[in-house]
């Protein structure tokens, strides 16, 4: 790939997990590699594994294990202490009607953006494209009872080492990139 100075080179990887625990370790590895303010969007049907993924992310961010991470469907956002603060939002109930941006403002998203933390948003696809300005977009599809495919889309450059680590650790479902 030939990148011009100042140009953004996005990177995508597709991973298959075959158990909830494997999805947790995917989230954990990503969490461990986050050292600065980051926003992550999660899309996928009910039961795809968005919350399970966040449980792993929390481990990687060293959220104390006495916190139980569940979908914040009724509170909309939960906040956890960790190496970086973790803000876990679920927009399931935020659908049509009011514009996503206005809703996010109501929830107090501005404040989360200003905190030097990690924002992870379930049902981010309910927002207009581009609204969240995420650094990583995760789409999860259910294949069967225990199998899920993850498309991880990293915006911007500099994730090559992390992506290589993921390639070594997990089953890659689109090895159309032969340089491994």
Contact, 139 vs 150, CB < 8 A?
Answer: yes
Residue 169 engages ligand ADP in binding (rule: CB under 6 A): no
Q: Which is nearer to ligand ADP, 37 or 67 (CB)?
A: 67
Residue 88 engages Mg ion in binding (rule: CB under 5 A): no
- Structure tokens, 11: 């990177």
Residue 49 engages ligand ADP in binding (rule: CB under 6 A): yes
Strand partners for 142: 148
The four Cα atoms 100, 105, 106, 110 give a dihedral, to 10 degrees, of 140
User: What's the rounded Cα separation, in Å, for the pair 55 and 163?
Assistant: 20
Q: Which is nearer to ligand ADP, 125 or 177 (CB)?
A: 125
Fill in the per-residue mask, 31 to 70: x = in contact with Mg ion (CB under 5 A), - = not in contact: -------------------xx-------------------
Q: Pick from 46, 65, 114, 178: which binds ligand ADP (CB under 6 A)?
A: 46
Residue 72, CA distances (Å) to 34, 50, 172 in order: 22, 12, 30
Q: Which is nearer to Mg ion, 33 or 71 (CB)?
A: 71
3-state secondary structure of 61: coil
Q: Pick from 98, 101, 128, 146: which binds ligand ADP (CB under 6 A)?
A: 146
For Mg ion, the binding residues (CB under 5 A) are 50-51, 71, 122
């Amino acid at each position: 790939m030939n990148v011009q100075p100042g140009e953004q080179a996005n990177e995508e990887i597709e991973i298959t997990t075959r158990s909830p625990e494997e999805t947790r370790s995917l989230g954990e590895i990503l969490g461990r590699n986050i050292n600065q303010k980051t926003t992550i969007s999660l899309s996928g049907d009910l039961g795809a594994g968005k919350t399970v993924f966040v449980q792993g992310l929390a481990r990687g961010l060293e959220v104390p294990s006495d916190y139980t991470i569940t979908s914040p469907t009724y509170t909309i956002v939960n906040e956890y202490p960790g190496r970086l603060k973790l803000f876990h939002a679920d927009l399931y109930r935020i659908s049509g009607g009011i514009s996503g941006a206005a809703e996010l403002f109501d929830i107090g998203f501005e404040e989360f953006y200003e905190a030097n933390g990690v924002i992870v948003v379930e049902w981010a696809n309910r927002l207009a494209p581009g609204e969240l300005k995420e650094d990583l977009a995760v789409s999860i599809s259910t294949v069967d009872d225990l199998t899920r495919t993850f498309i991880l889309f990293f915006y911007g450059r500099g994730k090559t080492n992390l992506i290589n680590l993921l390639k070594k650790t997990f089953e890659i479902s689109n090895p159309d990139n032969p340089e491994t």
